[in-house]
C-alpha cells in the first residue's frame, strides 16, 4: 500500500511538473532580436503551399536559412518551393546566397484515411518530426493549416518543454476559413505563440487570435 502511494505521489509530481512546464513555455514570448532568424516552414499540398509561399515572398532575407517541411509523397510542393526560391534569387541577386532546405516527414493523414487510424499515423509522424526539429532547432515555425504542421508544432513545443530551445510558433489560418477554424487550427490555437486569422468573424469568435486583414 505504501509503495502504491509513493508511486501515485511521484506520478502526480511528474504530471504537475509537466503541466507547469507546458504553461511556462506557452506563456513565454521573450525573444532576443538578432540579424537573422532560422525559419522552418510547413508546406501542404495544393492551396496551403501557394498561400504560405505568398506569405514568404513578403519576408526579408533576415529569415534565413529557410527550412521547408513537406509530406514524403508531396512532389507538387517540392516543385513549387524550388520554383519559388529560384524566382526569388532571379529577382534579387542577394537571395542567391541564402540557403534553403527541403525536409520530408510521413503524412499525418492521407486523403480519405479513417479518423481512428489517423491517431497512429500522426504519432508516427511526430516520432519522425522530433529528431528533425532537434537537429534544425529553428527560431521560428511558420505554418498555415496542413495536417503535417501538427506533429511539427508539437515537436517544436517539446523542444521548449525539455529546456532545449524555445521555438516561436506562428500559425496563419487559411484565407478560405471565414467563420470556422480548420481542424489543425482548432488544435494549434492552444499551442501557438501567435495565431493569425484573416477574417473579422474569426477574430470575434477567437478574441486571442491576431487579425491583420488579408495577408496572402
* Residue 216 burial (CB count, 10 A): 17
Neighbouring C-alpha atoms within 13 Å toward the C-beta of 109: 16
Average pLDDT over residues 195-212: 93
Bridge partners, residue 195, by sequence:
171
Check residue 60 and give its pLDDT.
85
Q: Residue 45 above 70 pLDDT?
A: yes
d(CA 205, CA 196) in angstroms, rounded, equals 13
Check residue 61 and give its pLDDT.
85
Check residue 1 and give its pLDDT.
60
- Tell me which long-range contacts 11-14 makes (C-beta under 8 A, separation of at least 24): none
How far is Cα of residue 82 from the mean position of the Cα atoms in its chain? 20
Q: Do 181 and 189 touch, CB atoms closer than 8 A?
A: yes
The percent of residues above 70 in pLDDT, for the chain, comes to: 81
Average pLDDT over residues 117-134: 91
pTM of the model: 0.84
Q: Do 78 and 43 touch, CB atoms closer than 8 A?
A: no
Q: Which residue has the higher pLDDT, 15 or 179?
A: 179
Check residue 193 and give its pLDDT.
95
Q: pLDDT class for 81, splitting at 50, 70, 90?
A: very high
Q: pLDDT class for 96, splitting at 50, 70, 90?
A: low
Report the candidate in 208, 184, 200, 213 with the shortest Cα–Cα distance to residue 42.
184
Q: Give the least confident one: 26-40, 85-99, 118-132.
A: 26-40
* Grid coordinates belonging to 169: 510558433
d(CA 122, CA 148) in angstroms, rounded, equals 8
Check residue 120 and give its pLDDT.
85
Q: Which fold has domain 35-211?
A: Rossmann fold (3.40.50)
Q: pLDDT class for 98, splitting at 50, 70, 90?
A: confident
Q: Residue 5 above 50 pLDDT?
A: no
Bridge partners, residue 168, by sequence:
140
* Grid coordinates belonging to 2: 505504501
Q: Label residue 213 exposed, middle or buried (CB < 10 Å: 0-12, 13-18, 19+).
A: exposed
Check residue 111 and give its pLDDT.
67
Bridge partners, residue 140, by sequence:
39, 168
Amino acid at each position: 500500500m505504501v509503495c502504491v502511494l509513493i508511486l501515485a505521489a511521484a506520478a502526480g509530481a511528474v504530471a504537475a511538473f509537466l503541466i507547469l512546464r507546458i504553461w511556462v513555455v506557452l506563456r513565454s514570448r521573450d525573444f532576443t532580436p538578432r540579424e537573422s532568424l532560422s525559419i522552418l516552414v510547413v508546406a501542404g499540398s495544393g492551396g496551403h503551399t501557394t498561400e504560405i509561399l505568398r506569405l514568404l515572398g513578403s519576408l526579408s532575407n533576415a529569415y534565413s536559412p529557410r527550412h521547408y517541411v513537406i509530406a514524403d509523397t508531396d512532389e507538387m510542393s517540392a516543385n513549387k518551393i524550388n520554383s519559388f526560391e529560384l524566382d526569388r534569387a532571379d529577382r534579387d541577386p542577394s537571395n542567391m546566397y541564402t540557403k534553403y532546405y527541403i525536409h520530408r516527414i510521413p503524412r499525418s493523414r492521407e486523403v480519405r484515411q479513417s479518423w481512428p487510424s489517423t491517431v497512429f499515423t500522426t504519432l508516427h509522424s511526430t516520432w519522425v518530426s522530433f529528431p528533425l526539429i532537434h537537429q534544425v532547432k529553428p527560431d521560428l515555425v511558420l505554418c498555415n493549416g496542413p495536417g503535417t504542421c501538427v506533429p511539427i508544432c508539437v515537436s517544436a513545443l517539446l523542444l521548449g518543454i525539455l529546456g532545449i530551445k524555445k521555438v516561436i510558433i506562428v500559425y496563419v489560418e487559411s484565407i478560405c476559413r471565414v467563420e470556422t477554424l480548420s481542424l489543425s487550427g482548432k488544435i494549434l490555437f492552444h499551442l501557438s505563440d501567435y495565431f493569425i486569422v484573416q477574417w473579422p468573424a474569426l477574430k470575434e469568435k477567437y478574441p486571442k487570435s491576431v487579425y491583420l486583414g488579408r495577408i496572402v
